Structure 1
Amino acid sequence: AVSAEHCTCPEPLSDALNASAGNGSEAQNATVRFTATPEGTALAYGSLLFMALLPIFFGALRSVRCSKSKKGGEMPETITSRDAARFPIIASCTLFGLYLFFKLFSQEYINLLLSLYFFVLESLLCRILSARLDPDVERLRHHLTNSNNVVFAEILNYEFDTKSLICLVLSSVVGVWYLLKKHWIANNLFGLAFALNGVELLHLNNVSTGCILLGGLFVYDVFWVFGTNVMVTVAKSFEAPIKLVFPQDLLEKGLGASNFAMLGLGDIVIPGIFIALLLRFDVSLKKNTRTYFYSSFVAYIFGLVLTIFIMHTFKHAQPALLYLVPACVGFPVLVALLKGEVTEMFSQSKEGLGIVI
């Protein structure tokens, strides 16, 4: 998760679509150049698009409920305009720092440490799964107590239920699977959980802040993808669930496929928190419509499809925010102009967006 207070971006790899992973072996890729079939390519890109939409849509819905949550552990982080302005700078430092680490130290040991770190973060996946199960499962309670008849002191006071136990087991299985095999399905399960959590819990305080954040990351993305090879290098070397991947050779090799198209979680979470903000703005208008949410959601689809088309046409990794930012900002602003609600959109504060649906 991203801390708004420190503006740390652990997913600086906001692009590098269609980078071939090949189990991380550049020598193997150089020896055998894989040529994807049209069917395999369409399946890979279509799956990435579908997976990207899931955390944005459901994360936005949950962000509205989360904005009024009274549970301390679920309170959303609020990104201010100052945070948004600093975000691209610290993200650039993080990205370049990772690049230097991969150049100076063994990639194997770095990825091992990262794998252990993300294994610990499986608790996020557990919380996401727990929220999806039937609430009736909570009725079965479990208590940990001292086995002696005389209790001298409270040993442990932690409440959990059957739902929590089920989700802990499931997330642990996925965590061990990813830690041992680095399988792309396990990677995507973690990635989707992290993205959903990010969209739900990271809240922009107003639309102006969202424009500052997206504008800054627009420049960040373009520079690090087109200006240098840093972004693509780190994306290919970074073995952690900070990107969604889907094999282009799935039809030929099945679940053991190894040539992946990829989409960084930053390309999902960053536009996603802006789309979630617009949904909360829709709710605050109390007009029983979701015009701004749906317009920005369609804009995201358009921008991502355009990214894939340009990347596939020119056979070069693309900075996805180059296309996503103008679409996700431009479409809703155009709608606001047509409806005469530009002033309301840009003057709305966070307090006016905390409506429960």
Structure 2
Amino acid sequence: MRAHERAASLALACLSLAPLLVNVNPNVNVVLTACLTVYVGCYRSVKPTPPSETMSKEHAMRFPLVGSAMLLSLFLLFKFLSKDLVNAVLTAYFFILGIVALSATLLPSIKRFLPKEWNDNLIVWRAPFFHSLSVEFTKSQIIASIPGFFFCLWYASKKHWLANNVLGLAFCIQVCLHGLTLII
């Protein structure tokens, strides 16, 4: 993590926690938080070599269709199922994605304190009955997901505004870093 990114991340953390201690102008907080979030996400996305993958025209054309289908499915869920069931499903969805986003956001900070082989050696997990479904991860990613797991437990149990904001910041940083592929 470079000095600029570290300073921006620290400022972002201070801006998130400031409303707990002092009265903060919401407009200033929103503008500064948005700018710093984009800065941190974009700064992390800069790589020494250009990415080898590019998005095809078909994938780009599919985004509005997938987004529309998602919104339609949410509308149908709220229309025909109980509010409590839909909230439970959305909480579970944000719980799982929150762990992934928080661990990916924390990983660059934690990585440098762990042994090098924990960062390099991939562990491949394959689903028992669906052999084409596999997940690759490292020990460093597992360590980074532990605080994310406990944070998401707090989010799911309390639904505190600070937990919601921190998850939103982690999602935004990862979307800036990886594009929309994290969401889909």
Higher-helix-fraction structure: 2
**How many residues end up aligned between the 2 structures?**
141
> Which whole-Å CA distance do the structure 2 matches of 1:87 and 1:63 have between them?
21
Give the structure, 1 or 2, with the largest relative contact order (CA under 8 Å, sep 6 or more).
1
Q: What's the counterpart of residue 10 of structure 1?
A: none
**Structure 1, unpaired ranges of 5+:** 1-39, 70-74, 143-157, 204-265, 267-357
2:107 aligned residue (130, 145, 154): 130
Measured in 1, the distance between the counterparts of 2:116 and 2:45 equals 28
The yes-or-no answer on 1:171 pairing with 2:154 is: no
Instruction: Tell me the residue number matched to 2:85.
Output: 109
Question: Are the counterparts in 2 of residues 66 and 201 from structure 1 also a CA contact under 8 Å?
Answer: no
Distance of aligned partners of 1:127 and 1:93 in 2 relative to their CA distance in 1, 3 Å threshold: closer
CA gap 1:85/1:184 in 2 versus in 1, 3 angstroms: same
Secondary structure of 2:41's counterpart equals helix
Q: Does 1:160 align with 2:139?
A: yes
Could you say if the C-alpha distance between residues 134 and 141 of structure 1 is closer, same or farther in structure 2, counting changes exceeding 3 Å? closer
Q: In the alignment, which of 145, 167, 178 is matched to residue 190 of structure 1?
A: 167
Matched, 1:58 2:40: yes
SS in 2 for 1:133: helix
1:327-338 matches, within 5 Å, as none
Check 1:51–1:66 CA distance in 2 against 1; reply closer, same or farther (3 A cut).
farther
Q: TM-score, normalised by structure 1?
A: 0.34
Q: Any residues of structure 2 matched to 1:307-326 within 5 Å, and which?
A: none
Q: Which amino acid aligns with 1:172?
A: F
Matched residue of 1:172: which SS? helix
What are the Cα deviations for residues 30-69 of structure 1, in whole angstroms up to 9, with x where unaligned?
xxxxxxxxxx8x8223222222223321222222218657
Deviation per CA, 1:145-172: give whole Å up to 9, x if none.
Answer: xxxxxxxxxxxxx7525x852x333212
1:91 is matched with which residue?
Answer: 67
Contact 2:41 2:177 in 1 (8 A): yes
Question: Does the 8 Å contact 1:66/1:200 carry over to 2?
Answer: no
- Which structure has the greater CA radius of gyration? 1
1:119 equivalenced with 2:95 (yes/no): yes
Pick the aligned partner of 1:82 from 51, 58, 62: 58
Distance (whole Å) between structure 2 residues aligned to residue 102 and residue 66 of structure 1: 46
Shift, 1:179, TM fit: 0.7
- Matched residues in 1 for 2:75 and 2:138: separation? 43
The answer on whether the counterparts of 1:130 and 1:164 sit within 8 Å (CA) in structure 2 is: no
RMSD: 3.2
Does the 8 Å CA contact 2:104/2:174 hold for their aligned counterparts? no
| Identical positions, percent | 28
